[in-house]
Amino acid sequence: MLGSTVLEVAIGMVFVFLLTSLVCSGISDRISDVLNWRAKHLENGIRELLMGGDQKLLNQLYNNQVIQSLSTLRAEKLGKTPAMPKVNPDGTLNPKDPTDTPDCFPINIPKRTFVLAVFNALVPDSTGQTTIGGLRTSIENMPDNAMKKELLTLVTGADSTIEQARQNIEQWFNAAEERMTQMYKTNMWKVSLVIGAIVAIIFNIDSAAVASTLWRDPTLRSAVVAQATEYANKEQLPDNASSKALEQIKGLNLPLGWGGLKEGANNYGQCVQSNFLFLAGCYGPVDWVSWEPSPSAVDSGVPVAFPWFTSFFVKLIGWALTAFAGAQGAPFWFDILKKLTDRGPR
């Protein structure tokens, strides 16, 4: 029986963590889209990891028609101002310098497209080359920079076919892309951790209070486990999971959020009195305002006080656990939930 209770509490907690992660990921994705972090991260990664920090070389690559055909984000969205073509005395326009700021930026570059753009934009006379020797000569005609050294190494390491040289460059780009992805995930984890802390406090998602409630209330625990099991039976996370997660959390009937002391109830220090118009009353975390001392403590005649300091310390820990859990990502908790419910009650 004890083992079953522990498992059910674990299922309930993982379900709450999953829903919290969905809320956090929805917020962080929205922030990333508004601030265009993906495009900025891709630009920084290619410049630093592939081009030795050379911004002009990166601009030359991004200005290539192959990359511009993929680019959907205007330079102004990234806080950049593209250079305008110069007007000749006769009214004609001089083409922009290929190293000027591009008009648009991509948020993703397929590896084949990257290789094509490298040859088109950076390697002189590389179009139509059919031999490694000819391609190497074209690369040697490039200005001296970090890209030239890398390309020479990659082409030298190829066999006698151009295709092998292209594959080497693709693998080079893939390795850099994996590092860029890991850096982006690390940065987004930090963002999600901050968002998780904000979500935990605003909605009072206290892991300690949730676990205690699930342990003490078998009826509520069974209801939460039933919802968690139904959710785990899905093949994958729904596309609109993030938008519905907050309502699902509220529907669990757990001690979440903030509330006011019921009329006629005693304030033992578990809430803060407010005299603002329309908000007059005593408010605090839902799990605090519902607190009542034991009858024996009341009957003893000794003044009863809510253990505010201890409860606040525990709540800080509960909020911190929720924030950390929310930053782990919904797929992480979804996998754990599926494993737990496979062994748990159906």
Dump pLDDT digits (tens) for 90-130: 767 777 788 899 999 999 999 999 999 998 888 888 777 77
- Mean pLDDT across the chain: 88
* 16 compared with 308, residue with greater pLDDT: 16
**pLDDT exceeds cutoff 90 at 200:** yes
If asked whether residues 122 and 259 sit together in one domain, one would say no
If asked whether residues 168 and 211 sit together in one domain, one would say no
If asked whether residues 253 and 299 sit together in one domain, one would say yes
Residue range 171-195: average pLDDT? Answer: 94
If asked whether residues 179 and 272 sit together in one domain, one would say no
If asked whether residues 333 and 232 sit together in one domain, one would say yes
**pLDDT exceeds cutoff 90 at 330:** yes
If asked whether residues 234 and 182 sit together in one domain, one would say no
If asked whether residues 231 and 306 sit together in one domain, one would say yes
The range of the structural domain enclosing residue 180 comes to 37-186
- Could you read off the pLDDT of 211-245 as tens digits, one per residue? 999 999 999 999 999 999 999 999 899 888 988 99
If asked whether residues 320 and 209 sit together in one domain, one would say yes
Of the residues 168, 186, 204, which one is the last residue of a structural domain? 186
pTM confidence score: 0.84
Cα–Cα distance measured from residue 335 to residue 203, given in angstroms and rounded to the nearest whole number: 25
Of the residues 186, 213, 231, which one is the last residue of a structural domain? 186
- Residue 201 CB-density burial (10 A; 0-12 exposed, 13-18 middle, 19+ buried): middle
Number of domains making up the chain: 2
If asked whether residues 23 and 47 sit together in one domain, one would say no
- Could you read off the pLDDT of 239-295 as tens digits, one per residue? 889 889 999 999 999 999 999 888 888 888 888 888 776 677 889 999 999 888 887
pLDDT of residue 345: 43
If asked whether residues 176 and 226 sit together in one domain, one would say no
If asked whether residues 127 and 205 sit together in one domain, one would say no
- Could you read off the pLDDT of 128-156 as tens digits, one per residue? 777 788 888 888 888 888 888 899 888 88
pLDDT of residue 344: 41
Of the residues 186, 204, 220, which one is the last residue of a structural domain? 186
If asked whether residues 132 and 174 sit together in one domain, one would say yes
